[in-house]
Chains A and B, each alone.
Chain A
């Protein structure tokens, strides 16, 4: 079974600074997708960034970028120029690409989350 681990329960950063959130995962699959989701106090999960495992290039979305190390099964999120609105719980998630036995339909496996605080 796939597992996702976020070893940092809480992180903090000063406004305008850069912060990196860590995530490791375990899978025997070679093809899969990795995601970072943000959950603000409103509770709605918002997709921040997505990485396809077959792509070597790290994904980037404006101030958000990832460091994807497939061999090490590591997937960290870097937030540059942090803003007060970035404060939230961040979840790393895994989704398998192959769908043997229908076990992948609609299923995301999440890490435990990292609470990010942004100080003005």
Chain B
């Protein structure tokens, strides 16, 4: 069974640009969550999608957005990139996103903003 796949693995973007990251969950999983990981702030929850609907959102500015498609694949978009957006972005999938279901993580996308 294939794991959670995130693409691309590495990205370099310029300040002011926008970027789209992709996450393909494990087959059958309908919940996808996104996290930002930085040395200073650690792992922070961005948002969660289930059946194409955003159910939960962390404390990030509106420049961070996401969506989920009917096949449960998810994308997150960051517009008007800032240097502080440089981070490892991780996505996690689970059956339902409820507390008793295990979350499986992808290997992440390393975004560098220059």
Contacts and interface: CB of A to CB of B under 8 A. Distances in A.
Nearest to B34: A106
B100 interface: yes
A33 B107 contact: no
A50 B102 contact: yes
B105 A45 contact: yes
By DSSP majority rule, is chain B's interface helix, strand, loop, or mixed?
Answer: strand
A105 B56 contact: yes
Interface residues of B, number: 29
B88 A108 contact: no
A107 interface: yes
A105 B45 contact: no
Contacts of A105: 31, 48, 50, 55-56, 97-98
B99 A95 contact: yes
Interface in B78-96: 88, 90, 92, 94
Contacts of B33: 106-108
Given A33-B100, A106-B97, A44 B55 contact: no
8 contacts: A44-B107, A45-B92, A50-B102, A95-B99, A97-B100, A105-B98, A106-B92, A111-B42
Interface of A: 32-33, 37, 42-47, 50, 52, 91, 95-97, 99, 102-113
Interface of B: 31-33, 35, 42-43, 45, 48-50, 55-56, 58, 88, 90, 92, 94, 97-100, 102-108, 110
